[in-house]
Amino acid sequence: MIEASSLSKRYGETQALAGINLSVPAGTVLGVLGPNGAGKSTAVRILTTLARPDSGSARVAGFDVATQAGDVRRRIGVTAQDATLDEALTGRQNLRMTAALSGLRRRDADARATELLERFELAHAADRVLKGYSGGMRRRLDLAASLVARPAVLFLDEPTTGLDPASRARMWEIVRDLVATGTTVLLTTQYLEEADALADHIVVIDHGRIAARGTARELKDMVGGHRLEVTLSAAHPDAAAALAPLLDGRVDTEGDGRRLRAAVRAGSGVATEVIRALDAVGARVDDLVVHAPSLDDVFFALTGTAAAPPTGRADRPDRPDLPAQPGHADHPDHPRRCARPEPAGDAMGVA
Ligand SMILES: Nc1ncnc2c1ncn2[C@@H]1O[C@H](COP(=O)(O)OP(=O)(O)OP(=O)(O)O)[C@@H](O)[C@H]1O
Ligand SMILES: [Mg+2]
């Protein structure tokens, strides 16, 4: 339902998008993850016909976003990052207006507005002007407005930013219901658990490029093994050495030497092997946890955001003595960002 090929867009000196490919099958959710300024909204604007790419092409619901914009617009709904509603109108009036703009007849528009206000738990505020709405209420009305015309493809640009946990959960439910009835969704988010919860496939964008793509599972596996945390009954001098064959990297020992943490090679029975290895050297285990890396681990590993401040010379004019380090900020293709480098021109591999 969404196909994008080599999309690029420059704003002055900023290369907002530097050639991205996307492919979203019907009835699935693509999660677009990336730090501030990565190019997420730019991609959404191009795919929803609100901006033109400098190069590359895209089709949405079978129509070309550049040459068949009208056909695309009739089949999509958009919840932009910034609210696009009229502050001076009531919730009901906003939905009626959107319905009228979508070509619905008056009676259908009224019925649809009432239905959506109820579904989004806004019926009680339907006839109040938006000025008095809370942020969460506006966000819900925004989403309701994007659904007025029952779009086949829905674009949600950070739909739950600023929502409280209950409102976020409600929004997730709504998105799941829409997908269950065949809607295709492209959703951008900063919330990794949101992509984890909703997206069939995820692309991580950084500096206008796709740094990685896959299912949440595949992205987590890309970052490496599971995390192991062991608490021993008492510190044991041979415990770390006993674990070494099972680990990726070194063991961190904490506190009184009873707590050990390490990256462990994922695999069936890994916890059993850990217990056996420790038992063999006579170390007794009080507690043991093996857990998968989170999408947070993936995000930081791929984009370097917050995980590692840039140290290259170009970024440290105060320290010209520092050599420009490979694997850091300046180069968009550096290996740290691209755990699985994107082959040029591939479409999203769907497992
Ligand atoms: N209309 C514009 N004029 C100038 N620069 C722009 C414009 N729109 C986007 N940019 C720049 O392009 C880059 C990508 O912006 P974009 O809004 O796509 O990022 P984003 O991933 O949506 O970020 P955020 O998470 O903050 O919403 C940024 O550097 C931004 O400053
Ligand atoms: Mg944005």
Domain ranges for the chain, please list them. 2-220, 225-291
**Residue 50 burial (10 A CB sphere; 0-12, 13-18, 19+):** middle
For ligand 1, pick from 14, 210, 303 the residue to mutate: most ligand atoms within 8 Å of CB: 14
* Ligand 1 first shell, C-beta below 6 A: 11, 14, 16, 34, 36-42, 81
Centroid of ligand 1 to alpha carbon of 16 (angstroms): 6
What is the 8-class DSSP label of residue 49? T
Look at strands 14-24 and 2-11 and give their pairing.
antiparallel
Task: Report pTM.
Answer: 0.73
The CATH number given to 2-220 is 3.40.50.300
Domain 225-291 CATH class label: alpha beta
Please report, in tens digits, the pLDDT of each residue of the chain (351 residues total).
999 999 999 999 999 999 999 999 999 999 999 888 999 999 999 999 999 999 999 999 999 999 999 999 999 999 988 877 899 999 999 999 999 888 889 999 999 999 999 988 899 999 999 999 988 888 889 999 999 988 999 999 998 887 888 888 888 998 999 999 999 999 998 877 888 899 999 999 999 999 989 998 888 777 666 788 899 999 999 999 999 988 877 788 887 889 998 888 767 888 999 999 999 999 999 999 988 776 666 776 676 653 322 223 233 333 333 333 333 333 333 333 333 334 433 333 333
Centroid of ligand 1 to alpha carbon of 322 (angstroms): 30
Q: Whose CA is nearest to atom 3 of ligand 1?
A: 11
Centroid of ligand 1 to alpha carbon of 209 (angstroms): 13
Rounded Cα–Cα distance for residues 104 and 98 (Å): 9
For ligand 1, pick from 10, 17, 40 the residue to mutate: most ligand atoms within 8 Å of CB: 40
Rounded Cα–Cα distance for residues 185 and 43 (Å): 14
Centroid of ligand 2 to alpha carbon of 124 (angstroms): 31
